[in-house]
Amino acid sequence: MNAEIGNNKYLNMDKKKILKKILSGSKNVQFNELILVVESFGFHLSRVRGSHHIYEHPDIPEILNLQNYRGQAKPYQINQFLTLVEYYRLEMEENKS
């Protein structure tokens, strides 16, 4: 289940390029870019409560809470995502759209 994406250009962006941008420490990460990467690592949107988008992964007990702040991803939430990926050794799924 994808978060609402207002601009279709995000659907065609290379997720690996977005991940590289995130890993480089860029503070300019669009919320929709982060969602594409998060979902490509196997997370799925569980629920939305206010501005909180709660993502779950079938193989890990933690949840991932993401907020869209004026179209941008919050840097500390990006770090939380990367920490989960590293700790659980998650890999990007090539066949995720």
pLDDT in tens, 55-69: 999 999 999 999 999
Q: What is the largest CA-CA distance in the chain?
A: 32
Q: Do 39 and 96 touch, CB atoms closer than 8 A?
A: yes
Fold that domain 9-87 belongs to in CATH: Metal Transport, Frataxin; Chain A (3.30.920)
Q: Mean pLDDT across the chain, nearest whole number?
A: 89
pLDDT in tens, 27-52: 999 999 999 999 999 999 999 999 99
Which residue ranges make up each domain of the chain?
9-87
pTM, 2 dp: 0.84
Write down the pLDDT at residue 3: 46
